[in-house]
Amino acid sequence: MASIAVYSVKGGVGKTTFSVNLAWCAATISRRQTLLWDLDAANGSGFLLGVNPKKKRSAQSVFSADRGPEKLIRKTDYPNLHLLPADESIRTLDRQFDRMGKKKRLAKLTSGLSKNYDRVIFDCPPVLNEISTQVMRAADLVIVPLPPSPLSARAFETVVEEVKGSGKSHPPILPVLSMLDMRRTLHKKARAANPKWPAVPLASAIEQCAVERRPVGAFAPRSPGARAFAQMWTAIERKLASKKR
Ligand SMILES: Nc1ncnc2c1ncn2[C@@H]1O[C@H](COP(=O)(O)OP(=O)(O)OP(=O)(O)O)[C@@H](O)[C@H]1O
Ligand SMILES: [Mg+2]
């Protein structure tokens, strides 16, 4: 089993969009048993997958009780893809982690999932606190969506520094240009400066995910956006394979 976090301290950079579409690629293209674990109280991943929240707000109980996350996991419309939804109850998750004093709580819960899942993807909230520290201890790979700018590389270095600050060791971090618009000069420059980074185009089909409440590959499989996520997923699988060797 491998776990992949989609993380940035910045809000609105495409973390949830990446998480949902990459999870769909893992489940559908790679046919991996996949769990999308939403760690953001806003529950964006559930929304984009068309999974409606239950009345009882119990996402927080996964971390405090010793009964594991299985009970809260939901099926989705897609084969091989399950969701562990978030809700308001995890707004104070960072303090809860602090109080518990268990530094590897998330890592332990994640490794407990390895009997049922090949891939776990974390949709992270835009924070730098005990939640991100726990995520860095649990993840095998971290994806950082970066809006294109002449300072993209520096913005990425900042994220790496922040991640380093949260612990001695950290997993490999893969930067990805997000919402790339090649009609814009500054975006073109950002692309030229970082030619090896995967990139996701600014695309109305991707924006439509929130209207369709489906991953882009499910309703516009030939669109540039769907192809970009498929390519990124291939790069991620390659990176995970090279890490194992
Ligand atoms: N490649 C794209 N093309 C067009 N729109 C996009 C693209 N990626 C994301 N968006 C839009 O940008 C907005 C922010 O995306 P998203 O919610 O995925 O960001 P986020 O980093 O998860 O935000 P938050 O920090 O609030 O959780 C959404 O409205 C989404 O539809
Ligand atoms: Mg989000």
**Amino acid making up residue 16:** T
In 77-158 the beta strands, taken as DSSP E runs, fall at 81-84, 119-123, 141-146
Of all ligands present, the nearest one to the C-alpha of 7 is: 1
For the segment 184-196, the average pLDDT, to the nearest whole number, is 95
At 166 the pLDDT is: 66
For the segment 162-187, the average pLDDT, to the nearest whole number, is 89
Lowest mean pLDDT among 9-18, 60-69, 87-96: 60-69
Max avg pLDDT among 145-159, 162-176, 211-225: 211-225
- Mean pLDDT estimate for the chain: 93
At 144 the pLDDT is: 96
Residue 61 has pLDDT above 70, yes or no: yes
Q: Which of 17, 128, 227 to mutate to test the pocket of ligand 1 (most atoms within 8 A of CB)?
A: 17
At 152 the pLDDT is: 87
Backbone φ and ψ for 83, nearest 5 degrees, come out as -130, 135
At 26 the pLDDT is: 98
pLDDT interval class at 163 (50, 70, 90): confident
DSSP for 150-212 reads: TTHHHHHHHHHHHHHHT-S----EEEEEEEE-TTSHHHHHHHHH-TTS-EEE--HHHHTHHHH
In 45-152 the beta strands, taken as DSSP E runs, fall at 74-75, 81-84, 119-123, 141-146
Through-space distance between the first and last CA atoms of the chain, rounded to whole angstroms: 15
Of all ligands present, the nearest one to the C-alpha of 10 is: 1
Q: Which two tokens stand for residue 31?
A: 């046919």
The atom of ligand 1 lying closest to the CA of 179 is 1
Residue 127 burial (C-beta neighbours within 10 Å; 0-12, 13-18, 19+): middle
For the segment 2-21, the average pLDDT, to the nearest whole number, is 96
Please state the domain count of the chain.
1
What is the residue range of 175's domain?
A: 2-244
The atom of ligand 1 lying closest to the CA of 209 is 31
The atom of ligand 1 lying closest to the CA of 126 is 25
Residues with CB under 5 A from ligand 2 (ion): 15-16, 44
Of all ligands present, the nearest one to the C-alpha of 11 is: 1
At 4 the pLDDT is: 98
Nearest CA to ligand 1 atom 15: 14
CA of 245 relative to ligand 2 center, distance in Å: 32
With a CB cutoff of 8 Å and minimum separation 6, the contacts of 168 are none
Task: Tell me, rounded to whole angstroms, the distance of Cα 204 from its chain centroid.
Answer: 21
Q: Which of 13, 16, 146 to mutate to test the pocket of ligand 1 (most atoms within 8 A of CB)?
A: 16
**CATH number of the domain encompassing residue 13:** 3.40.50.300
β-pairing, 141-146 vs 34-38, is unpaired
The atom of ligand 1 lying closest to the CA of 178 is 1
Paired strand residues for 82: 35, 75
pLDDT interval class at 63 (50, 70, 90): confident
pLDDT digits (tens, 9 = 90+) for 74-110: 999 999 999 999 998 899 899 988 888 888 999 999 9
